[in-house]
Structure 1
């Protein structure tokens, strides 16, 4: 298991429950996941050669990186070298690196926003007049919405490029024209078996619009409200990617936009489970446990019984967050919301310093909620920030 961060604990626990011997590795020995594993090694999840040597010495049976893009290429690289189950390494790199994915999409005739990759602000500035505003600035290799900005004028370009460059190990960023949504931003997870998209659970994603980074998804709801014919159109576009990239068996996380003409734009298809407890919520909503299937896939076990399952009921996840800095004191949850909460966990403790939400790494906690109707879900999730409040001392 590459990584032992808080958001990766569900997969480590699931693998233990399935009876496996779990080895975690990353370069943060204080990560909470390591206390649930059988063995921990201090090796960076992005150091492919170091992980390969460790995997060889341990004679592992499978390798996976739950809910994180950063370790996905390492998983595919090590698996390919050792003959273990995984997607092709080259295909994984195309999906993980935003510039490579855009190039692939253009070559293969997908709908794609006008985009170009750069190394410096000066390069982007020289090209800026060729783009229709607004544009998105994105590190090519970041996840969790870190370093992503929307730019409306050249005056703010340098500042946003500097932010993007802070979050890229590859040293590259993408500038691309913004796609206006028709309806909600489409998120959610899926699962492919032998290259076929056999399961999908699309979601409505809503962003941190009033925060310092307005592109962090903080609310996710099910079922998707887009018509079935659009959902089928999305499914077909995803399947086309899986076929062209010769993908094998494993989880997928979606980031998709549909414009007013019903054109589907695959912003990202990550070869991993989603974060922010979305796989857990999907299990409640459909009865399908994609975490356990991901573990089975990593070990080469059959996943052929996995099939599409409709969402039952109304479900949501909420990323508890702060809009200001301060010292964490607690959470105030309005009485009317307590009946809806299925699971709830804080990732900070009293006395911790917390920052305004600028990416998934700065969440305060997570919630899964359920509702009796679509109307109740829409009403309560529209007002959740006023009813689930982070209490701070020394707010600033």
Structure 2
């Protein structure tokens, strides 16, 4: 029997686990990406240089190769393209309109508000006309962000009108559609909910609490999966998550959602129909839930049966982000020692020697993070701290190494 051909959108480092796993499962893999040099090309059976945001070009490519399934499980920018191609070729997918509901924050806000959910006050702008009035209607403090970006790019938090024009221009520059969302800040505790939907039934695989940096409230310094939650709190979250997914139309597939626990309300902030970044999808979820979500997504894309059976009591995990002094990185030390700490599964650097450490404008400007796994929620944080304490950095112009915070 001929091996099935899986089309993976994106050929960067975050697609490597999907390509490796698909190959290990006996499938052939086609990778497409807009860049000519990508690490996943070396692992794939075939690769082509095609922009994954271009639905038409990707459809032509997929048709030419006669693919058996298509997947975009780690980046928002290709989710709608994968859905479009699957729909046109009669392959398993979430549906193009559903994909747009999850990748356009304006649509997401309109749909959840129309369904009667508690959502932030918001206004959508396609030009700077009416910017000041829209901000006044929403009321400060507020968030200005593009409707269709990711990783916090182009997002600004304003406590007053100073910087409003600059925040709008930044958001507009990061918006592929040119539309900008202005919304109120919601007080409370921010959480992440990860899970999988099978035939319309959502299974929650992990709930994490986010802790922001003190000097950048839109960027997390820690993502902590404590394991089991009190039943009442879990049920309140579960009910809101299931209703939100139903409103947005997700019937099958992975999801990564951000909510704010604000009093008695669970307020949707952002929901993605893809796996969570920072190794949540590939490392954290299999540990805390016992479910290989990556394999489930591959099976679903290829039309194979999917079984989601999480552990009765979830385990704990932690993603701890570290900081560095401002300036140019000359050298990083201690990475091997940090990675060798028991319970650490990854020490990842977003920035390398020669890169500039600047303000935390968005998530990808964090220097890096440590992923730790354990059964105990307190232990998993201590493991991460122990690993980070071993890291050192030498900045350009300095004679010696300093600790990483």
* Structure 1 and Structure 2 fold alike (TM over 0.5): yes
Q: Does 1:152 align with 2:159?
A: yes
| 1:141 CA drift (Å) | 0.4
2:99 counterpart residue number: 92
Confirm or deny that 1:209 pairs with 2:214. yes
Which residue does the alignment assign to 2:70? 63
Q: What is the CA distance between 1:249 and its match in structure 2? A: 1.7
The residue that corresponds to 1:316 in the other structure is 318
Selected match of 1:194 from 183, 191, 199: 199
Alignment of 1:288-367 (within 5 A): 288-303=291-306, 305-320=307-322, 322=324, 324-332=326-334, 339-347=341-349, 351-356=353-358, 357-367=360-370
Deviating more after overlay: 345-354 vs 165-174: 345-354
1:161 to partner: Cα distance: 1.4
**Structure 1 residue 60: Cα displacement:** 0.4
Q: Matched residue of 1:297: which SS?
A: helix
Q: Secondary structure at the match of 1:51?
A: helix
Q: 1:277 aligns with which of 279, 283, 307?
A: 279
Deviation at 1:353, TM superposition (A): 2.1
- CA drift of 1:269 comes to 1.7
Give the Cα separation in 2 of the matches to 1:56 and 1:290: 27
CA contact (8 A) 1:334 1:387 kept: no
CA contact (8 A) 1:314 1:373 kept: yes
Q: What 5-or-longer segments of structure 1 have no aligned partner? A: none
- Secondary structure in 1 matching 2:202: strand
Q: Does 1:27 align with 2:29?
A: no
Secondary structure at the aligned position of 2:106 is classed as helix
Listed as ranges, the matches of 1:1-396 within 5 Å are 1-181=8-188, 184-210=189-215, 213-223=216-226, 227-260=230-263, 262-279=264-281, 280-303=283-306, 305-320=307-322, 322=324, 324-332=326-334, 339-347=341-349, 351-356=353-358, 357-371=360-374, 373-378=376-381, 388-394=391-397
| TM-score between both structures, scaled by the size of structure 1 | 0.89
CA contact 2:290–2:310 (8 Å) conserved in 1: no
The RMSD of aligned alpha carbons is 2.6
Deviation at 1:155, TM superposition (A): 1.2
CA distance in 2 between counterparts of 1:185 and 1:379 reads 22
Q: CA deviation at 1:222?
A: 1.4
Does 44-53 or 237-246 show the bigger shift?
Answer: 237-246
Asked whether the 8 Å contact 1:196–1:242 carries over to 2, the reply is: no
Question: In the superposition, relative to structure 1, how do residues 160 and 272 fare at CA in structure 2: closer, same or farther (>3 Å)?
Answer: same
Change in 2 beyond 3 A, CA 1:176/1:80: same
In the TM superposition, residue 371 of structure 1 has moved relative to its aligned partner by 4.5
Secondary structure of 1:179's counterpart equals coil
Q: Distance in 1 between matches of 2:218 and 2:170?
A: 14
Q: Compared with structure 1, are the counterparts of its residues 196 and 233 closer, same or farther at alpha carbon in structure 2 (3 Å cutoff)?
A: same
Residues 341 and 367 in structure 1, CA contact (< 8 A), matched pair in contact too: no
Look up the SS of the partner of 1:116 in the other structure. Answer: strand
SS in 2 for 1:216: strand
| Displacement of 1:320 | 5.0
Note the C-alpha offset of 1:386: 6.2
Please, which runs of 5 or more residues in structure 2 have no aligned partner? 1-7, 399-405
In the alignment of these two chains, the number of paired residues is 389
Task: Give the deviation of 1:215 after TM superposition.
Answer: 1.8
Q: Is the 8 A contact 2:54 2:81 kept in 1?
A: yes
1:195-232: per-residue Cα shift (whole Å, max 9, x none)? Answer: 1102421112223333xx54233421112575332221
Structure-2 change in CA distance of 1:37 and 1:188 (3 Å): farther
SS at match of 2:69: coil
Three-state SS of the structure 1 residue aligned to 2:117 is coil
More off after superposition, 237-246 vs 269-278: 237-246
